[in-house]
Amino acid sequence: MSHILLIIGGGIAAYKSLELIRQLSKAGHKVTPVMTESAGQFVTPLSVSALAGKKVHEALFDLTSEAEMGHIRLSRVADLVVVAPATADMMAKMAQGRASDLASTLLLATDTPVLIAPAMNVRMWDHPATRRNLATLKADGIAVVGPDEGEMACGEYGPGRMSEPAAILAAIEAALLPADRPLSGRHVLVTSGPTHEPIDPVRYIANRSSGAQGAAIATALLRLGARVTFVTGPASAPPPEGAEIVAVETAAEMLAAVKAALPADAAIFAAAVADWRVTQASGRKIKKQAGALPGLSLAENPDILARVAGMAVGRPDLVVGFAAETDDVVAHATAKRARKGCDWIVANDVSPGTGIMGGTENAVTLITEEGAEDWPRMAKRAVAERLAKRVAEALAAGGRTASGGRV
């Protein structure tokens, strides 16, 4: 989880900051909001505070805030400072090094990376003074996203519209990428989501999986520089941007896609693959008949994890499986690791009441040859980041690429 200090400037585009906060929170980021005095003319502190789940900082000389968190500390505890919207006045203050209010003081006092999303009238954006200020800010290392071109609230048309929240979020994610990307040059295979095993054209056997944890893992691996092949069943969670997406439906299709994606340095099998399939799926809808139940003959699906873990040639250096259990989680997962022949098992308790399956959080136990390591309950994004870091450390210890060469 990253900590974002969001400074909201005074402009009509301030309304977009509310959606930006929502998207940041949904992505697992912690947001501390700061509003300029003029920002309060466009959005209310109550709305901002409700979405961020934190107090809004507004006044430079707020005795309560100074006692709890001085403005100097506030400027430095974040991973990234974001100014959205960044008005012409705010950009001028930043370029000139002025500290006339809380927002500008924080920006002058911070040693944290800063990203701005400019928003202003097209004439103001094109003015030589703004162009000079922009050049100064870029020379100072300030990152910039936008502005977009379009119709202004004043009725004019041209560049100056603040970028949409999704674009700003993407710029924030890029700005948060670590300078050291330990998985650069590595290929990691990730499976995710459920599989659907057809009974007839309208019915299927499946597991309850949103694919959210698998997508989060792929995203975390991408952030560390890996090339990711993402083999996904019909998941409700969106696939990770930047990965090679291979969409499948059945376990047999997933196995074929996994084989086609190899070789890989590591393979993480987060998919909830259905254990069984119907031996003869009907090509037509099976009609319901009073007093009669259809006879379904089931066959066991291929064990994708065990097949890859047991490969004599071309086996990934690290093979990680998942175990969703409802009781005796550690015991069952430990036995599964031995039975499958994989290196690690990520086990979690998906019993009713935990809210894990399909939820936004996870509580896992990492099973390795050294034993069981309990992780605290956290957002699935945080679980993914922790696992990706461990994968990078393990591959670094092995020191080989998928092709067998030294890195």
Q: What is the pLDDT of residues 84-103, one digit of tens each?
A: 999 999 999 999 999 888 99
Which residue is it, tokens 């400027």?
Answer: 75
Give the residue, 84 or 326, on which the prediction is more confident. 84
- Closest by CA to 132, choosing from 79, 96, 80, 162, is 96
**Catalytic-role residue among 154, 174, 177, 396:** 154
Mean pLDDT on 127-141 = 94
Write down the pLDDT at residue 71.
59
Write down the pLDDT at residue 356.
58
* Confidence label for 216 from pLDDT (cuts 50, 70 and 90): very high
Query: From CA 236, how far away is CA 253, in angstroms rounded?
Result: 18
Mean pLDDT on 155-170 = 85
Annotation: binding site: 275, 285, 302-305, 322, 336, 340
Domain borders along the chain are 3-175, 187-398
Write down the pLDDT at residue 399.
44
Query: From CA 253, how far away is CA 345, in angstroms rounded?
Result: 23
Tokens representing 244 are 């090679």
Tokens representing 304 are 């994708």
Residue 403 has pLDDT above 80, yes or no: no
* Other CB atoms within 10 Å distance of the CB of residue 10: 20
Residue 209 has pLDDT above 80, yes or no: yes
CATH topology of domain 187-398: Rossmann fold (3.40.50)
Write down the pLDDT at residue 79.
87
Residue 38 has pLDDT above 70, yes or no: yes
Query: From CA 84, how far away is CA 143, in angstroms rounded?
Result: 12
Q: On the CB side of 134, how many CA atoms lie within 13 Å of its CA?
A: 21
Annotation: binding site for CTP: 275, 285, 302-305, 322, 336, 340
Query: From CA 112, how far away is CA 157, in angstroms rounded?
Result: 34
Query: From CA 263, how far away is CA 186, in angstroms rounded?
Result: 11
What contacts 389, CB < 8 A, 6 or more positions away?
224
- Closest by CA to 25, choosing from 165, 179, 194, is 165
Q: What is the pLDDT of residues 225-257, one digit of tens each?
A: 999 999 999 998 889 888 999 999 999 999 999
First to last CA, the chain: 29
Q: What is the 3-state secondary structure (H, E, C) of the chain?
A: CCEEEEEECCCHHHHHHHHHHHHHHHCCCEEEEEECCHHHHCCCHHHHHHHHCCCCECCCCCHHHHHHCCHHHHCCCCCEEEEEEECHHHHHHHHHCCCCCHHHHHHHHCCCCEEEEECCCHHHHHCHHHHHHHHHHHHCCCEECCCEEEECCCCCEEEEECCCHHHHHHHHHHHCCCCCCCCCCCEEEEEECECCEEEECCEEECCCCCCHHHHHHHHHHHHCCCEEEEEECCCCCCCCCCCEEEECCCHHHHHHHHHHHCCCCEEEECCECCCEEECCCCCCCCCCECCECCCCCEEECCCHHHHHHCCCCCCCCEEEEEEEECCCHHHHHHHHHHHHCCCEEEEEECCCCCCCCCCCEECEEEEECCEEEECCCEEHHHHHHHHHHHHHHHHHHHCECCCCCEC
- 154 belongs to the catalytic site: yes
Residue 344 has pLDDT above 90, yes or no: yes
Q: What is the pLDDT of residues 329-338, one digit of tens each?
A: 889 999 999 9
Which residue is it, tokens 């094109």?
Answer: 126
* Confidence label for 401 from pLDDT (cuts 50, 70 and 90): very low
Tokens representing 63 are 């005795």
CB distance 161 to 119 below 8 Å:
yes
* Confidence label for 65 from pLDDT (cuts 50, 70 and 90): low
Query: From CA 254, how far away is CA 246, in angstroms rounded?
Result: 9
Q: Residues 3-175: name the CATH superfamily.
A: Flavin prenyltransferase-like (3.40.50.1950)
Tokens representing 326 are 């409802």
